Structure 1
Amino acid sequence: MAQVLQMTLANSAGKTMTLNVANPKASLTEAEVNAAMQTIVDQGIFSREGLLFNVKKSAKIVERNVTDFELNA
């Protein structure tokens, strides 16, 4: 099962962006995610059209089942 940590941030115009982190560690805690997102906000790492993404909106781990098929050439 594939897992992705999705962290969504917003700017003052209400636009959102989602950061996807593949295969987050199994012992990841809510506090660690909050701290990471707060660091992103505090450092002003991401912006668009001059507006910083400075509001933590949501965070979640998404799991999905992937089945690969072998294709004949």
Structure 2
Amino acid sequence: MPITADYIRIADDIVADIRAQKLKPGEKLPSITQLAATYKVSPSTVKQVYVRLEALRVIWRHQGKGVFVNDPAFWMREP
């Protein structure tokens, strides 16, 4: 069984939480430091998570304010 990179696994967890409506549009995500502690990974791994999710338009960043969940209608497609 192939091993999934930590940043992909964490990004998938966040997307799953959005799909399950545990995270709502406009909700602020944890800081890089907080998420790194939660998943027991390095901050650089969380940076990769946020870069991936931003590229997929799942999140948006507001400098000095944080990282926020985009409206799923903006990026989510039906499975």
The question of a shared fold, defined as TM-score above 0.5 by the shorter chain, is answered with no
User: 1 or 2 for the larger relative contact order (CA 8 Å, sep ≥6)?
Assistant: 1
More helix by share: 2
Relative to the length of structure 1, the TM-score reads: 0.31
Relative to the length of structure 2, the TM-score reads: 0.30
More strand by share: 1
Query: Greater CA radius of gyration, 1 or 2?
Result: 1
